[in-house]
């Protein structure tokens, strides 16, 4: 438990209907009581809400009419005493009330500090704390569902189970080291260990396999639309978003900078990026755009390469085909409403579209789903590892166990094998936050918004 009491505005600043100022810590109720006129908060029951007024502690003037919630330790978000003041939402008033709490001894919370306290006070583990942030950032039902399940501890349970199994392997080894009087102990243990480790490895493989989908659900698919100028890239973005997001004109070189939007295909977010058309150019502004496009191609997880049916393939088209050939990509032949001048013989699989007549968009969306083997995951109970940090740690744990298997094959002494298995155990613990450094914590929680 911490000695100081932290305070922050927990709603986003702006002219909303209500704003919430949240305090957590030993003095939370006492500070609230000094500001609040209505009831004696030190006497009220836990988890109750009270009508009253906030008064300026200096000149005793009423500042706002509020509802104040009192939640006593330990059944609270942080496990500490918490009060939440629901006030009338203006930026000025909200800031004023926050200021009063600071004057009375609270400290301004850092971003994510409430959740950090929940973790450090052991109410939630690190994987759960991180899912709070995922919850805030969720853009689709599927990613929300994923975050809720993680917060609920389901992801943590997957890891905890693995960890239990690894621990029992360690226990087995220790028994062997502690009772070496059995002559054939080494042989027996190698034999016992092998299937046990293989079993855990199999489970890890499975979790990592479905984690690929989890990562896509959580982060979306970075999708970049590329093509020569004027082929219809911005039109495609607009059609897919069902909104006139990008400017479309008949002038080649209209899009100069990246334009970004999010769409939802069967519960999956596509982070869609429209780019400047690629061509050799002397226009400086345009060439900066072109360089950015090249960078985007490198970072993309999916490329939509747009070609123009009403023109023959140019050198620039061929360059683009070549530049994206090792990427996951879909070739789109656009403007099929116009007479074809394109020789498509050498093109691999492509989709024909017309932005003018609204043709081919649904087919394209189906193709994208197929490419990522997504099916319709909207309604499934999703319980995947999705966080990049977690996936990386699990891969390290898997690597350690693989090393252990190799050592078993080479009949290396058991105590050496134990080092690898213990390492796996530690990596799994890091996912739950059992062996983490302060630096990592600071970094993780600094990504939160204020008041969470």
Ligand X SMILES: Nc1nc2c(ncn2[C@@H]2O[C@H](COP(=O)(O)OP(=O)(O)OP(=O)(O)O)[C@@H](O)[C@H]2O)c(=O)[nH]1
Q: Based on the shown chain and the rule CB under 6 A, indicate whether residue 152 belongs to the binding site for ligand X.
A: no
Q: Based on the shown chain and the rule CB under 6 A, indicate whether residue 293 belongs to the binding site for ligand X.
A: no
Nearer to ligand X, 48 or 249 (CB): 249
* Stretch 202-241 residues interacting with Mg ion (CB under 5 A): 233-234
Q: Which stretch binds ligand X (CB under 6 A): 57-65, 134-142, 197-205, 244-252?
A: 244-252
**Partners of 443 in beta bridges:** none
CA 113 – CA 109 distance, rounded (Å) = 6
Q: Per-residue DSSP letters for 52-99?
A: EEEE-TTT--EEEEEEEEEE-TTSSSSSS-EEEEEE---HHHHHHHHH
Q: Which residue is nearest to ligand X (CB)?
A: 277
Phi-psi label, residue 168: left if phi above 0, alpha if psi -120 to 50, beta otherwise: alpha
Distances (CA, A) of 26 to 48, 272, 291: 18, 47, 55
Which partner in Mg ion, ligand X, none is near 101 (CB below 5 to 8 A by kind)?
A: none
Q: Which stretch binds ligand X (CB under 6 A): 195-203, 335-343, 394-402, 426-434?
A: 335-343
The site string for ligand X over 354-393 (x = CB under 6 A, - otherwise) reads xxx-------------------------------------
Binding ligand X by CB under 6 A: which of 32, 214, 229, 267?
A: 229
Q: Which stretch binds ligand X (CB under 6 A): 97-105, 233-241, 291-299, 418-426?
A: 233-241
Bond preceding residue 433 cis, omega within 30 of 0: no
Q: Which residues contact 182 (CB under 8 A, 6 or more apart)?
A: 188
Binding ligand X by CB under 6 A: which of 116, 154, 335, 398?
A: 335
Q: Based on the shown chain and the rule CB under 5 A, indicate whether residue 255 belongs to the binding site for Mg ion.
A: yes
Q: Which residues contact 431 (CB under 8 A, 6 or more apart)?
A: 126, 127, 159, 389, 390, 393, 394
Question: Which DSSP symbol is given to 330?
Answer: E
Question: Which DSSP symbol is given to 280?
Answer: -
Q: Based on the shown chain and the rule CB under 5 A, indicate whether residue 121 belongs to the binding site for Mg ion.
A: no
Q: Which stretch binds ligand X (CB under 6 A): 142-150, 231-239, 419-427, 436-444?
A: 231-239
Which partner in ligand X, Mg ion, none is near 235 (CB below 5 to 8 A by kind)?
A: ligand X
Contact 53, 64 (CB under 8 A): yes
Enumerate binding residues for Mg ion (CB under 5 A).
233-234, 254-255
Point out which residues bind ligand X (CB under 6 A). 227, 229-235, 248-250, 252-255, 276-277, 334-335, 337-338, 354-356
């Amino acid at each position: 438990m911490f000695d100081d009491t932290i305070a922050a505005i927990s709603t986003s600043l702006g002219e909303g209907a209500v704003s919430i100022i949240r305090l957590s810590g030993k003095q939370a109720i006492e500070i609230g009581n000094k500001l609040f006129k209505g009831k004696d908060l030190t006497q009220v029951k836990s988890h109750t809400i009270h009508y009253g007024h906030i008064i300026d502690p200096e000149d005793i003037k009423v500042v706002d009419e509020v509802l104040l919630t009192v939640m006593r330790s330990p059944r609270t978000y942080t496990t500490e005493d918490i009060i939440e003041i629901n006030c009338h939402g203006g930026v000025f008033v909200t800031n004023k009330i926050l200021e009063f709490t600071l004057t009375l001894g609270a400290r301004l919370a850092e971003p994510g500090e409430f959740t950090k306290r929940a973790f450090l006070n052991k109410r939630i583990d690190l994987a759960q704390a991180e899912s709070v942030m995922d919850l805030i950032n969720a853009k689709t039902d599927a990613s929300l569902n994923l975050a809720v399940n993680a917060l609920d501890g389901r992801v943590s349970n997957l890891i905890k189970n693995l960890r239990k199994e690894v621990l029992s392997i360690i226990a087995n080894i220790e028994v062997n080291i502690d009772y070496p009087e059995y002559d054939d102990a080494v042989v027996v243990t190698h034999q016992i260990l092998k299937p046990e480790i293989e079993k855990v490895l199999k489970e890890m493989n499975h979790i990592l396999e479905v984690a690929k989908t989890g990562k896509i659900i959580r982060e979306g698919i970075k999708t970049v639309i590329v093509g020569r100028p004027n082929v219809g890239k911005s039109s495609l973005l607009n059609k897919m978003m069902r909104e006139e997001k990008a400017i479309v004109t008949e002038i080649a070189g209209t899009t100069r900078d990246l334009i970004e939007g999010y769409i939802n295909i069967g519960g999956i977010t596509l982070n869609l990026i429209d780019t400047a058309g690629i061509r050799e150019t002397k226009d400086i502004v345009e060439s900066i755009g072109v360089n950015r496009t090249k960078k985007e191609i490198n970072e993309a997880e999916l490329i939509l390469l747009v070609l123009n049916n009403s023109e023959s393939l140019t050198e620039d088209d061929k360059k683009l085909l070549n530049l994206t050939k090792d990427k996951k990509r879909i070739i789109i032949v656009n403007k099929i409403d116009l007479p074809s001048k394109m020789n498509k013989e050498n093109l691999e699989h492509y989709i024909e579209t017309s932005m003018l007549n609204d043709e081919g968009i649904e087919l394209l969306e189906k193709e994208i789903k197929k490419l990522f083997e997504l099916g319709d995951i909207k309604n499934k109970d999703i319980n995947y590892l999705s966080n990049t940090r977690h996936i990386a740690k699990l891969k390290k744990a898997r690597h350690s166990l693989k090393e252990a298997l190799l050592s078993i094959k080479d009949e290396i002494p058991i105590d050496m094998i134990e080092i690898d298995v213990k390492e796996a155990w530690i990596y799994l613990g890091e996912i739950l936050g059992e062996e983490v450094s302060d630096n990592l914590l600071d970094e993780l929680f600094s990504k939160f918004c204020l008041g969470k």
